[in-house]
Every structure is written in structure tokens, then in C-alpha cells.
């Protein structure tokens, strides 16, 4: 069993108005075999957490730690984090002109594992995974995400997830922009990757609809850069009924109290 542990994480970014703190003391522990859902309104810092774990240079960690099986993730480069077992499915996957899907997938797999996969086995694995995700076989020869629809890009993210077999998958609003059919296909891919209990998942979302297909073990409510409540799957059901208003009001009251003090 592997453990990804975040302790008292504070993260800032530089803006035209100066330095702005986004994460304000986040603590979270994820183990392989577990699925954690992070839910919260827009602008609460959910994607900042995902990008920070993955090593995006825009986000500056001012205090706190992230460790993977005791190793300091924050000292690792982005590629070192990937080789250590951290995978990020991006909210807005980027196009990579001039790089075919075939070359990208095999090159990335080689870099992660430290050796090239056996071609015959690898080719079959890629074809099978593409078929299960309903990705047309012709996409293997196309450039990465170039001209893909939003749903096609999200399926390709999960294709990578299934092939790379990370220890921890961070899914940053993978459900955004998907119709019902695409959501089911993507969710099935995540569930397949989860089989065997060798992967932990951090699922970031606004809505509960994806949680109908990917069942979380833990739900964390994120507001104003902090985890304000934690619970089981029943918490997601309550959020669907009540929304985030009561948390937002509480955060506003806390801010006013702090200013007055």
C-alpha cells in the first residue's frame, strides 16, 4: 500500500495585484485503493491543489509538505513525480502538434517505467484500451489532442491513466463538458484502473453526477482554500440537495471576524 500525504499546505500565486494565497492549510491523506472526492464552488482552490501536487511552476508552496511513501514530492521535478506514480488528468488537456498519439504514449510509458514496453504486448494493450474507451483506432496516428472534441480529450486522458498505471490519479474536473454517454465511458475507465486496489484516486468535481459511477470512500468539501467538512458518500448527496451556500456564508463570516479582530 502506498500513501500520498498532504500536511498543512499553503500555496500562493503572483498576480498583477501582488501575491495571493490560494491554499490556506490543506491536510489530506490518500492511500492506494481509496477514492477521495473533493467538491466545492468555483474559485475555491481545488484545481490549485491538483496542479500543486503535479508540480505546476505557477504555484508557490509557502509552507507545508506533500510526501509519497515518505519521499518529499515538493523536491521532485514534474517528470520525477510522474515516475514516482503521480498522474494528473487535466481539466483542459492541451494540444501537442507534431506528436502522434502512438509516439507520445509509448515514449511516456518508457520514461515512467525506465524501459520500453514489449511492442507486441503494448500494441494490443493500446488497442484494447482504446476500444473500451470508444476511441476510434485512427486516433492513434493523429497528433495528441489536435482537433479533438472536449469529450475525446477527456477519453484520451483516461487512456493514459489505464496504460501508465500510476499509484495516484488526480482527476481535475474530468467530468466537465461530458455528455451522459461519455461520462459513463470515462467513469468505467477510471473504475477499471482502480481494480486490484493498486491506485488511489483524488477526484475533483463540482457536481455529484460522476459520483453515481465512481463511488467515493471519502468526500471533502473545499471552500476558500480549505477543507471545511469531511465525510462519506452521504455528504455528496447532501451537497446535491443543499449546495454550497452555507459554507460560503460561513467563510464570509469568518473573514469578517478576522478583520474585526
Q: pLDDT in tens for each of the 261 residues of the chain?
A: 899 999 999 999 998 888 999 999 999 999 999 999 999 888 889 999 999 999 999 999 999 999 999 999 999 999 999 999 999 999 889 999 999 999 999 999 999 999 999 998 999 999 999 999 999 999 999 999 999 998 999 999 999 999 999 999 999 999 988 889 999 999 999 999 998 889 999 999 988 889 999 999 999 999 999 999 999 999 988 888 888 887 766 554 443 233 333
> Residue 256: its pLDDT value, please?
28
Strand stretches in the chain, DSSP E: 3-15, 18-31, 35-39, 60-68, 71-72, 86-89, 96-100, 143-144, 168-172, 200-205, 218-223, 226-231
> Residue 186: its pLDDT value, please?
94
> Residue 177: its pLDDT value, please?
84
Distance CA 135, CA 248 (A): 40
> Residue 259: its pLDDT value, please?
31
Would you tell me how many other CB atoms lie within 10 Å of the CB of residue 13?
Answer: 15
Instruction: State if pTM tops 0.85.
Output: yes
Q: What is the CA radius of gyration of the chain?
A: 19
> Residue 17: its pLDDT value, please?
87
Distance CA 118, CA 106 (A): 10
Amino acid at each position: 500500500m502506498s500513501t500520498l500525504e498532504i500536511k498543512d499546505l499553503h500555496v500562493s500565486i503572483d498576480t498583477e495585484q501582488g501575491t495571493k494565497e490560494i491554499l490556506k492549510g490543506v491536510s489530506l491523506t490518500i492511500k492506494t485503493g481509496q477514492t477521495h472526492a473533493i467538491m466545492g464552488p468555483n474559485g475555491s482552490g481545488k484545481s490549485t491543489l491538483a496542479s500543486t501536487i503535479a508540480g505546476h511552476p505557477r504555484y508557490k508552496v509557502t509552507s507545508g509538505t506533500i510526501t509519497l511513501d515518505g519521499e518529499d514530492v515538493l523536491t521532485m521535478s514534474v517528470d520525477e513525480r510522474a515516475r514516482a506514480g503521480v498522474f494528473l488528468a487535466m481539466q483542459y488537456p492541451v494540444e501537442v502538434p507534431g506528436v502522434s498519439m502512438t509516439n507520445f504514449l509509448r515514449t511516456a510509458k518508457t520514461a515512467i517505467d525506465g524501459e520500453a514496453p514489449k511492442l507486441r504486448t503494448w500494441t494490443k494493450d493500446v488497442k484494447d484500451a482504446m476500444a473500451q474507451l470508444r476511441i476510434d483506432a485512427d486516433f492513434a496516428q493523429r497528433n495528441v489532442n489536435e482537433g479533438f472534441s472536449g469529450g475525446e480529450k477527456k477519453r484520451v486522458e483516461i487512456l493514459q491513466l489505464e496504460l501508465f498505471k500510476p499509484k495516484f490519479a488526480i482527476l481535475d474536473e474530468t467530468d466537465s463538458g461530458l455528455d451522459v454517454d461519455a461520462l459513463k465511458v470515462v467513469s468505467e475507465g477510471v473504475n477499471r484502473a482502480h481494480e486490484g486496489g493498486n491506485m488511489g484516486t483524488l477526484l475533483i468535481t463540482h457536481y455529484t453526477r460522476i459520483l453515481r459511477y465512481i463511488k467515493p470512500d471519502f468526500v471533502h468539501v473545499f471552500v476558500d482554500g480549505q477543507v471545511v467538512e469531511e465525510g462519506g458518500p452521504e455528504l455528496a448527496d447532501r451537497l446535491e440537495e443543499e449546495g454550497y451556500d452555507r459554507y460560503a456564508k460561513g467563510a464570509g463570516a469568518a473573514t469578517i471576524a478576522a478583520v474585526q479582530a
